[in-house]
Amino acid sequence: QGPLAESGGGEVLAGDSLRLSCAASVRILSSSAMAWFRQTAGKSREFVAAISWSSGGTSTADSVKGRFTISRDNAKNTMSLQMNNLQPEDTALYYCAASSTPVSRFVLADRRQYDYWGPGTQVTVSS
């Protein structure tokens, strides 16, 4: 098993909700961060949301703001993404990411900050 493992993906209809979870088997530094990215075929990996591990401060992509909420459980070393009002354009392979080094809140959306990645979980939204 790798350092990160996602779960919770599936096939839903537009307007439905899903909750993705990410379990980390590596220790997450209090000064680091975890994030969700997504990718569709032929496109680069896109930032979705990120959370600072110690402060709980978050950053969310404009495309999902108001619909997706990121959270974390420090004690359980897990992170979640609550996705409401899903739309067909949300269809993608969703990846969990974590950093092994401190991450400034100003660069939470930069995928170069993250060096641990999960294998991804597929989310498919039909209209």
Q: pLDDT (tens digit, 9 = 90+) per residue, 29-46?
A: 777 899 999 999 999 999
Average pLDDT along the chain: 94
Q: Residue 85 — very low, low, confident or very high, per pLDDT cuts 50/70/90?
A: very high
Whether the per-residue pLDDT at 113 is higher than 80: the answer is yes
Residue 22: which of 124, 104, 101, 121 has the closest Cα? 121
pLDDT recorded at residue 11: 98
Report residue 111: phi and psi, to 5°: -65, -15
Which H helix or E strand runs over 96? Answer: strand 92-98
pLDDT of the residue at 112: 95
Structure tokens given for 127: 């209209």
* pLDDT score at 41: 93
Confidence of residue 15 (pLDDT cuts 50, 70, 90): very high
CA 91, 120, 115, 31: dihedral to nearest 10 degrees? 80
Averaged pLDDT, 90-114: 94
Arithmetic mean of pLDDT, 49-69: 94
What's the confidence (pLDDT) of residue 80? Answer: 97
